[in-house]
Amino acid sequence: MDEYLSQTPQATQARYIRSRRRLLVTLNNGVELTVPTDLIEGLKGATPADLSAIEITPLGTGLHWPNLDADVSVEGLMQGIFGSRKWMAQQMGRTGGSSRSVAKATAARENGKKGGRPRKTA
């Protein structure tokens, strides 16, 4: 466990920046991470008072919001993991697979007027 901790950055400070709706985490190696709070599972839409009440876990490897019962790992934040696997899959599906836009709808209508998508030829 000691070897793991010596190789894993740990949070030494964490605070909520109200004016930017961001989480600022300072690590023991001097690196500072800034993450929009709405990207983190359980924090979207939370009040500034609830977002300001941040606890750093005793080993510095996680953050906890007691008023929201929300947790995130510091290592996960560094890797762009802002929640559970299931929650991240849902979030990625919403943004990455979005198929509704004015441009796509217009292109589909124009393509339909031409007889639809051309058939693949072998």
Average pLDDT for residues 94-119, to the nearest whole number? 72
Q: What is the CATH number of domain 2-113?
A: 3.30.2020.40
Whether residue 97 is predicted with pLDDT greater than 80 in this model: the reply is no
Does 22 have pLDDT greater than 90?
yes
- pLDDT band of residue 11 (cuts 50, 70, 90) is very high
Q: How sure is the predictor about 105, in pLDDT bands with cuts at 50, 70 and 90? A: confident
Arithmetic mean of pLDDT over the chain: 85
Res. 56: pLDDT tops 80: yes
d(CA 13, CA 55): 9
Please check the confidence at residue 52 and state whether its pLDDT lies above 90: yes
How many of the other CB atoms lie within 10 Å of CB of 28? 14
pLDDT confidence of 85, banded at 50, 70, 90? confident
Question: For position 94, what pLDDT does the model report?
Answer: 61
Q: 76 pLDDT exceeds 60? A: yes
Task: Specify burial of residue 69 (Cβ count, 10 A radius: 0-12, 13-18, 19+).
Answer: exposed
Among candidate residues 23, 40, 36, the one with its CA nearest the CA of residue 76:
40
**Residue 18 pLDDT greater than 80, yes or no:** yes
